[in-house]
A = this chain, B = another copy of it.
Amino acid sequence: MVNKNVLNAMAETIKPLGKKTVKQEQILDAAITLFAEKGYSNTSTAEIAEVAEGTIFKQYGTKENLLLSLLVPFIKDFLPVMADELVKELMNDDISFEEFLRSLFKNRTAFFLENREVFQIFIKELIYREDLKNELLPYIIENASSGFIKVIEIFQKRGELVDKEPEFILKTLSTVISGFFISRFVLLNRHSISDEEIDGITFSILNGIGKVDSITT
């Protein structure tokens, strides 16, 4: 597992959390809103600091560091549930894969809704910056893959998933899940997701949109 400490390295450069002053909170909130709306590059530090611009730099050193200060906690929260903790959620009961998938969508939807703006910033910056992409994407993929592959294998044994390579199933899942969240929260800037929509995408992932008796494989 390469680059395991990318996030730790990033985390070390940012301000220790918890010690936030009122001003710091104001800055972070303004930064999140503006970065999400207009993007990091198109937001000036003058806009973020409603009062004194210098305060930003006293607190965060650089504009870049301010960005990391709001991204790192998000990523640290965002990753685990994509992997190890996900397995735990499964172990304690014998839910079906459909239930598992639906609860995954609901859980992540809730998380992204809570962090909608930071998620937007994350995706937007990820797309723009080669460095972030090269450092984080492999790490995220690696991190998420290991947990998911296990889950897929478990459900294959239970006979709930097609007998294809787990990697094939993972690829399909990644494409649909990432497509679902990115299109809803980043492209369409949705502020809510209905249960029906989650049920719908869960159904489609499991059953496909083809009629069962017409499958031409």
* Subset of 13 A-B contacts with CB under 8 Å: A123-B127, A127-B186, A161-B210, A162-B207, A162-B211, A168-B200, A169-B209, A171-B200, A172-B200, A172-B209, A175-B179, A205-B209, A206-B215
Interface size on A, residues (CB 8 A): 56
**A68 vs chain B, min Cβ distance (A):** 17
**A185 vs chain B, min Cβ distance (A):** 11
* Closest residue of B by beta carbon distance from A179: B179
Report yes or no: A176 in contact with B173, Cβ–Cβ below 8 A. Answer: no
**A168 vs chain B, min Cβ distance (A):** 6
A173 cross-chain contacts in B, Cβ below 8 A: 209
**A82 vs chain B, min Cβ distance (A):** 15
A201 cross-chain contacts in B, Cβ below 8 A: 172, 175
Let me know if A41 is at the binding interface, CB within 8 A.
yes
Let me know if A98 is at the binding interface, CB within 8 A.
yes
Let me know if A187 is at the binding interface, CB within 8 A.
yes
Let me know if A188 is at the binding interface, CB within 8 A.
yes
CA distance A140 to B216 in the complex (A): 31
- Proximity bits, A171-198, B CB within 8 Å = 1, else 0: 1111110111011001111000000010
A182 cross-chain contacts in B, Cβ below 8 A: 179, 182
**A24 vs chain B, min Cβ distance (A):** 18
Let me know if A39 is at the binding interface, CB within 8 A.
yes
A188 cross-chain contacts in B, Cβ below 8 A: 137
CA distance A168 to B180 in the complex (A): 14
A217 cross-chain contacts in B, Cβ below 8 A: 203, 207
* Closest residue of B by beta carbon distance from A200: B168
